[in-house]
Homo-oligomer: A and B are copies of this chain.
């Protein structure tokens, strides 16, 4: 159940980009790489993928860089993660974007499928409802008031 480095770096970069929205959001790869501690060449690939998926735009040449293709409140994390890490579904037989039979005799009465469908929904609920704007807002709040914003479990 884990997010790859590509996914992690991609989301980090998008959050970084979102934080520059408004005040001329043009940002260079190497600046993001430095701030977020991401290998620049790897980040390059990731941002390109995100661009091809329509989530980013860019400008070449001096003074160029990347910027969000849409306002931060219209980009959700589900989209970003799907582009970089593939389907959210833990198992292909409950995925819409990459459905594949898991070979059980009757999907309708497959116990594993029922639960994994619930898991998929739970993940998608969180990720699809959370926009980059939501995150920058939460980060903002965490800076203002100390106290735990997360509760590690598991």
Contact = CB atoms under 8 A, between A and B. Distances in A.
Nearest to A113: B150
Given A1-B1, A1-B88, A111-B138, A120 B15 contact: no
Contact of A88 (B37, B116, B154): B154
B2 A91 contact: yes
Prevailing SS type, chain A contact patch? helix
A118 to B, nearest CB: 5
A102 B102 CA distance: 34
A15 B86 CA distance: 28
A87 B127 contact: no
Interface stretch (A20-28, A42-50, A54-62, A139-147): A139-147
A32 interface: no
A152 B109 contact: no
Contacts of A34: none
A99 B123 CA distance: 20
Contact of A135 (B111, B125, B136): B111
A68 to B, nearest CB: 15
A97 B2 CA distance: 14
Interface of A: 1-3, 8, 11-12, 15, 36-37, 77-78, 81-82, 85-91, 94-97, 99, 102-104, 107-127, 130, 135-136, 138-139, 142-143, 146, 148-154
For the complex of A and B, list the 9 residue pairs with the smallest distance between their C-beta atoms, beginning with the closest: A122-B122, A109-B142, A117-B150, A111-B135, A3-B90, A111-B139, A15-B111, A118-B126, A96-B154
